[in-house]
Structure 1
Amino acid sequence: MIQKTMKPFIFILLLTLICCKNESKIEIETESESIVDESVSKIWNNYIKSNPDFKDEKIPEADFFHNNEEDANRLAKLTVNGKKKTSSSLYSLYKQYNVDLPKIGAKQIITNFDGKAKAIIKNKSVDTIPFNKISKEYAELDIGTNIEPLKKWKKAHWKFFKNLLKESGEKPTEEMLIVCVSFETIWTEKH
């Protein structure tokens, strides 16, 4: 009689264990998808080995420039080569998402589109400048070319900002404020 009542209990227990095992597996897979590429830790560890004064600093945020593979990879390469020394973003988005502006002295790990670390940069200056007041010199440092840099910068950034603003129903203007960050590349994957 005890065996008859134990069979359903054992079956339910076994079924519960199988279900729990599958749920754990799903959680593990989800967590592993959000894991940062190991190259990010590696580039930071190499940097602090050569610069022990920074060993107690928290690993910086890692991200790529732009929103597509071709541009992200091109801009990462320009950063590594020292041709890209500035970045531009919309001031209104910082306000909209209640995010702090970049800080002078802050470091960031620049990756390619796939998240592979390529360089570490350090912010030298942060300014807010109207779109129509961006200089040729600044544009050249942002897009990494001296061939019509301002014309190319304005065309590319107008299109990019227009697409970003679409989400909030806004439209770009010549007076829209741009967060202009000047940085130096302080470490590359080549070290």
Structure 2
Amino acid sequence: MKTRLGCLSNKSDSCSDFSEFLPPAQETAARSLKLSTDEAEQWSESFDVLLSHKYGLSAFRAFLKTEFSDENIEFWTACEEYKKIKSSAKLVSKANKIYKEFIDVQAPREVNIDYRTREKTRRCLEDPSPTSLNEVQAKIYSLMEKDSYPRFLRSKMYQDIINRTHAKCQRRSV
């Protein structure tokens, strides 16, 4: 974690490459990619913009880890992957995995949902379809959008990202 967030320390000049936020397998390929100030500033336009940007999603995930609530973004991402499954056998398998990891009471990465939503989701997953997780995913999305996202935008992490990308652009134009 410290290594991945090391780019945000005051001593680092490498924050615009953001490979530090990516899993090790993607890190090498991403080293050549750069983040512009405009891209980072666009993350503040909407939560959807943040989540649709590869580095935005990675930065938000890293932020949630610092708040010990990364299960929310992991759950949301798992639901996005779930919706894309075409095979009914794989749909059942993925639905069970998501339920056991995130939704079941005392799940290892249990998301914060009310009893009614949990029970409704459990019933929906008895015969899963690509839309079975839509309601619970929407609740977690809303929670992140209203709670975590504003804190992310005010965080030192995000401000450092903006400052580093801006400083890097300033150095290039000199």
* TM-score, normalised with respect to structure 2: 0.28
Higher share of residues assigned strand: 1
Higher share of residues assigned helix: 2
* TM-score, normalised with respect to structure 1: 0.26
